[in-house]
Amino acid sequence: MRETVGVVGVGWVGLVTAACFASRGHDVWAMDVDEAKVAELSSGEVTFHEPGLAELVTEHARRLHFTSDMDEVLANSRLLFCCVDTPPTYSGDADLSRVMTVVERLPDDAEHALVMKSTVPSGTGSSIRREMPGLAYVSCPEFLKEGSAVADFLNPDRVVIGADPGDEWAADAVTALYEPLGGEIVRTDVSSAEMIKLASNAFLATKISFINEIANVCEEVGADVTEVARGMGLDERIGGSFLKAGIGYGGSCFPKDVSALKQLAGNSGYHFQLLNSVIEVNELQKRRVIGKLTKHLGSLVGKRIALLGLAFKPNTDDMREASSLVLSARLQGEGAEVVGYDPVAKDAASGLLPSIEFASSPGEALAGADGAILVTEWSEFADLDWPALAAEMTSAVIVDGRNFLDPERMRAAGFAYEGVGR
């Protein structure tokens, strides 16, 4: 018989985990304290944007049991995947209160295992293990990317499974769940598994800040960073991914995990210098866009600036740590009027950006604008009728914050075009 899976916390990670395991033929008992969410999911409603997820939930509804009753989950499954969020506290440490609430509700018995998907600082597993010596503990960090989470889950590069002596049965059971998906299984201890997650995200963020600094130097010397990244990326020791220069990384993971690793190091007395710079470069990168606008427009007081894309990256409506938040605040601080357009994130953005105007199409955002910033590289922006849009603007200035558009084509369409590092 196939292993039944328990999932605690059906946010983004929890729901992707539940739906994907269900699609592989497992019965899944997914629990959340939010009863309204449980009711929505039970009726097949998925309220956030993640390609392919709503379809999986509908298709495998028969195997997906949503509940707010932990006892029901415990009665039906021995593996409990903890998928609650660990947002940053004011100090930059990870807030573990939701994880601890889950732990408090679990029995300290030998029949169940807690499988930690939530991103937690190194050392969390051993402290939970001390508190609950009976319960088995497995660290199985999440490497999904928003916008391609379902595909990432079903075709992983690697799956990290960390367990300490005594808990091998649980690590074996988790391995058996993931093995059919392919991808290398990395069996290790709990502490190393926790570090693999934080170090991976911090390294990817470092790659982005690195290429962003190279882009800034390219602007000084007249080189093109997209060519530089292409040439660098072909060295397989470097690799071509995560070398796209732009206005910096955002989202719910990189900013939080880089600062959590920095804090974790600091708490144990180690000053992680490199990560300080990674964070600072990322902050400054968003602000450089303003200079590119003023170069063409002079003072921004009273100017109308359009933001194309508001979500932190395409194919998601997630606004957490989105560059658009800092940009709109900076633009308004300079006295500009801001109008924003995003194909899916409008609802998520409206509460966070109460003082900007929202347009319902790129054309509406650009009409009468003095300048535009491409913030999120939604594919629809590639195929716009740019010559017609340029004609509708008061002055056709565009800062392409993701190096997404073709500079020559944009110039031919009548734009003063500024990219990042090209």
The catalytic residues are: 253
| 145 lines the binding site for ligand UGA (CB under 6 A) | yes
Residue 181 in tokens: 């998906």
Contacts to ligand UGA from residues 381-420, by CB under 6 A: none
Contact flag: residue 286 with ligand UGA (CB under 6 A): no
142 binds ligand UGA (CB under 6 A): yes
Q: Does 160 bind ligand UGA (CB under 6 A)?
A: no
Q: Hey, which residues between 110 and 129 contact ligand UGA (CB under 6 A)?
A: 119
From the CB of 250, what's the least distance to ligand UGA, in Å? 4
Q: Binding marks (x or -) toward ligand UGA, 168..187, rule CB under 6 A?
A: --------------------
Local structure of 14: helix, strand or coil: helix
Q: In whole angstroms, how close is the CB of 246 to ligand UGA at the nearest point?
A: 4
Q: Which two tokens stand for residue 340?
A: 């924003």
Contacts of 297-300 with CB under 8 Å at 24 or more apart are: 297/370, 297/371, 297/395, 297/397, 299/334, 299/335, 300/331, 300/334, 300/335, 300/336
CB nearer to ligand UGA: pick between 310 and 369: 310
Alpha-carbon gap, residue 64 to 15, rounded angstroms:
10
Task: Give exposure, 125-162, as e/b (b: 16+ Cβ within 10 Å).
Answer: beebbeebeebbbbbbbbbbebbebbebbbebeebbbb
Q: How far is the CB of 72 from ligand UGA (least distance, A)?
A: 28
Encode 333-370: b = buried (16+ Cβ within 10 Å), e = exposed: eeebbbbbbbbbbbebbeeebeebebbeebebbbbebb
CA-only gyration radius of the chain, Å: 23
* Residue 197 beta carbon to ligand UGA: minimum distance, rounded to whole angstroms: 7
Of positions 23, 139, 201, 328, contacts ligand UGA by CB under 6 A: 201
Judged by CB under 6 A, the number of residues near ligand UGA is 21
Give residues with Cβ within 8 angstroms of 269, minimum separation 6: none
Q: Is 317 in the site for ligand UGA (CB under 6 A)?
A: no
Instruction: State the nearest-atom distance from the C-beta of 359 to ligand UGA, in Å.
Output: 22
Rounded to 5°, angle at Cα 76 from 72 and 77: 115
Instruction: Give whichever of 122 and 201 is closer to ligand UGA, judged by the CB atom.
Output: 201
SS3 content of the chain, % helix, strand, coil (to 5): 45, 15, 40
The verdict on 146 binding ligand UGA (CB under 6 A) reads yes
Nearer to ligand UGA, 251 or 371 (CB): 251
Stretch that binds ligand UGA, among 27-35, 245-253, 366-374, 404-412 (CB under 6 A): 245-253
Binding of residue 66 to ligand UGA (CB under 6 A) = no
What is the C-alpha separation between 404 and 378, in angstroms, rounded? 9
Q: Site residues for ligand UGA, window 246-285 (CB under 6 A)?
A: 246, 249-251, 253-254, 257
Among 28, 79, 174, 243, binds ligand UGA (CB under 6 A): 243
Q: If binding is defined by CB under 6 A, does position 313 make contact with ligand UGA?
A: yes
Taking the C-alpha atoms of residue 280 and residue 329, their distance in angstroms, rounded to an integer, is 18
Indicate the helix (H) or strand (E) that contains 124. helix 124-131
DSSP annotation string for 403-418: S-S-HHHHHHTT-EEE
CB 126 within 8 A of CB 137: no
Shortest distance, position 147 Cβ to ligand UGA, whole Å = 7
User: Could you give the CA distance from residue 148 to residue 146 in angstroms, rounded to a whole number?
Assistant: 6
CB of 60: closest distance to ligand UGA in angstroms? 23
Distance of closest approach, residue 1 Cβ to ligand UGA, in angstroms: 31
Nearer to ligand UGA (CB atom), residue 67 or residue 201: 201
Smaller CB separation from ligand UGA, 77 or 119: 119
Q: How far apart are CA 242 and CA 205, in angstroms?
A: 8
In the bound state with ligand UGA, the residue whose beta carbon lies nearer, of 74 and 420, is 420
If one asks whether residue 86 binds ligand UGA (CB under 6 A), the answer comes out as no
Residues within the interface to ligand UGA (CB under 6 A) = 119, 142-146, 201, 204, 208, 242-244, 246, 249-251, 253-254, 257, 312-313
